[in-house]
Structure 1
Amino acid sequence: MVSATLLFAAAIAPLASAHFALEYPAWRADTLESGTNYSQWQYPCAGVPASTSTSGNRTDWPLKGGSLKVDLHHPWEYVFVNLGLGSNVTNFNYTLTGPTFWNVTGAGTLCVDLPLPEGLNPSDGQEGSIQVVTVGESGSALYNCADITFRANATALSKDECKTDEKVSFVQIKEQSDNSTDGGNSTDGGNSTDGGDSADDKKSGASFVGLNTVALTAVVGMALSFVTGMVL
């Protein structure tokens, strides 16, 4: 007879595999851990409160920007990285994947160095939070957050620490003034793809294969909301 524990594990396995992990900076809490009230479906930070001086995780981050390392579990997804300043952030009004967002192809580790937006000059000791949002084929958004402290002596991860899996690549989606939705202007952390019509691209979200017009419009609409820091 199959035990109730095994049945429960089998039931939640698809949910866990559909989520993602934030490895660096350290996330506020492990939102994949069972037995908690955290949910990656919950805006803006999966239900995890901000770190304080006595509890939580807060990572020292360079003044000009630092490393981001995530473990992604979908064949492809859109990724948005936003930043808010303060010790208890409620408004993530700076985009670090600007001017739009990324289309990531492949499940696995993605690690990149993110510069801060031009004109943003945090001071040594200033606190902030990084919000990572992923949107998959269903159009549903998942959230994780990491709390940081900007430090003049902080450094980005080394090349040995910050490696993107060979099967993972991404393109930055262009900001369009018309109705076209092609990808281009590749940016990467060592592994990138162009916005062309290669066989690999046709399997990725960048080519929008398998998405009807209504679903595509909804996803791109959410993208514009995320990069402007708006609540859906």
Structure 2
Amino acid sequence: MHSQQSISQWTALAVMILACVNWVNAHTIIVYPGYRGNNLHTNGSVEEAGGLGSAYVNDTTIYPYGMQWMYPCGGMPTSTNRTKWPIQGGAISIQPGWFQGHATAFFYFNLGLGAIPPNMSNPMLPPFQIIGPSANPYPGTFCLPQVPLPAGLTVNVGDLATIQVIETAKHGAALYNCVDIEFALPEDCVKVTQDNCFNSSDIAFADIYEVNVTTSAAPPSLMAPGFTPISFVTLITMLFAGLLI
């Protein structure tokens, strides 16, 4: 089981993959608790696929835009081995990578229920933005130490689910990655430490704003009346306090 593997193995695998696929323009790796598998893969051409994100050509599935662009889990099937994850929520650590030419991205964390979820329609967190050091692909890491279950959801030890992580660029295109989990008691899960859950100094977080369109059709600025900031710092504080669980 993945839960029996050390996180140092996950980290070493992630670093190795990043070192070996420098031709990839974008990538996301779920370092903790793990991910379905290596989908840092691009093959075929847009012409061969007829403009589709994936196509079956000459007995081979091609991904001209890369596997990670494919909903819901970056072109990867459900895992046969599952990672144990706490029944009250737990840590998620990400190597976000970067879209070539984009130094910012939005992140979404969703949960799909069951052995093979019919959808990933259960948000675990409000979306937030990360800001990188440049427009080049970047293998830094960020970690959320306590990601809660979706509001109102109760699970039991042994229940199966899938965590979906989505990274979107400023033009709206998205990368998808998943980890298939089995809910377990915290003591039966891989321990979270400073080695597998840390935030790189080069990655910053930013607020996302929402506008009340009933009060202002065209607000002059992001600080205009009707905008409510969602502070990532406040979010993390609430997570530690257990207010979102």
Residue 40 of structure 1 aligns to a residue in which SS? helix
Q: 1:68 aligns to what?
A: 92
Residue 174 of structure 1 aligns to a residue in which SS? strand
Whether 1:137 and 2:170 are equivalent positions in the alignment is yes
Distance (whole Å) between structure 2 residues aligned to residue 96 and residue 176 of structure 1: 22
The one-letter code sitting in structure 2 at the alignment partner of 1:82 is N
Distance (whole Å) between structure 2 residues aligned to residue 120 and residue 160 of structure 1: 30
Q: 1:27 aligns with which of 21, 31, 35?
A: 35
Distance (whole Å) between structure 2 residues aligned to residue 150 and residue 174 of structure 1: 33
CA deviation after TM superposition for structure 1 residue 190, in Å:
11
Q: 2:110 aligns to what?
A: 82
Residue 70 of structure 2 aligns to a residue in which SS? coil
The structure-2 alpha-carbon separation of the partners of 1:167 and 1:44, relative to structure 1 and needing over 3 Å to count, comes to same
8 Å contact from structure 1 (residues 26, 58) kept in 2? no
Distance (whole Å) between structure 1 residues aligned to residue 184 and residue 178 of structure 2: 19
Cα-Cα RMSD: 2.9
How many aligned positions are there? 174
Q: TM-score, normalised by structure 1?
A: 0.65
CA deviation after TM superposition for structure 1 residue 176, in Å:
3.2
Distance (whole Å) between structure 2 residues aligned to residue 37 and residue 149 of structure 1: 31
Deviation per CA, 1:19-41, whole angstroms, max 9, x where unpaired?
22221221111111578967001
Distance (whole Å) between structure 2 residues aligned to residue 121 and residue 51 of structure 1: 23
After TM superposition, list the pairs within 5 Å mapping 1:71-150 onto structure 2: 71-74=95-98, 75-98=103-126, 101-106=127-132, 107=138, 108-113=140-145, 114-150=147-183
Q: Which runs of 5+ in 2 are unaligned?
A: 1-20, 44-60, 133-137, 223-227, 238-245
After TM superposition, list the pairs within 5 Å mapping 1:32-47 onto structure 2: 32=40, 39-47=67-75
Residue 137 of structure 1 aligns to a residue in which SS? coil
Work out the percentage of aligned pairs sharing the same amino acid: 33
Q: Which runs of 5+ in 1 are unaligned?
A: 1-11, 193-232
Q: 1:168 aligns to what?
A: 203
Whether 1:157 and 2:192 are equivalent positions in the alignment is yes
CA deviation after TM superposition for structure 1 residue 65, in Å:
0.6
After TM superposition, list the pairs within 5 Å mapping 1:48-67 onto structure 2: 48-52=76-80, 57-67=81-91
Q: 2:5 aligns to what?
A: none
CA deviation after TM superposition for structure 1 residue 191, in Å:
9.5
Distance (whole Å) between structure 2 residues aligned to residue 147 and residue 138 of structure 1: 29
Residue 184 of structure 1 aligns to a residue in which SS? strand
Q: TM-score, normalised by structure 2?
A: 0.62
Distance (whole Å) between structure 2 residues aligned to residue 102 and residue 86 of structure 1: 26
The structure-2 alpha-carbon separation of the partners of 1:88 and 1:172, relative to structure 1 and needing over 3 Å to count, comes to farther
CA deviation after TM superposition for structure 1 residue 189, in Å:
10
Deviation per CA, 1:79-103, whole angstroms, max 9, x where unpaired?
11110110111211211222xx111
Distance (whole Å) between structure 2 residues aligned to residue 88 and residue 118 of structure 1: 21
CA deviation after TM superposition for structure 1 residue 159, in Å:
3.2
The one-letter code sitting in structure 2 at the alignment partner of 1:145 is C
Deviation per CA, 1:163-206, whole angstroms, max 9, x where unpaired?
010111223423432366848332259999xxxxxxxxxxxxxx
CA deviation after TM superposition for structure 1 residue 59, in Å:
0.9
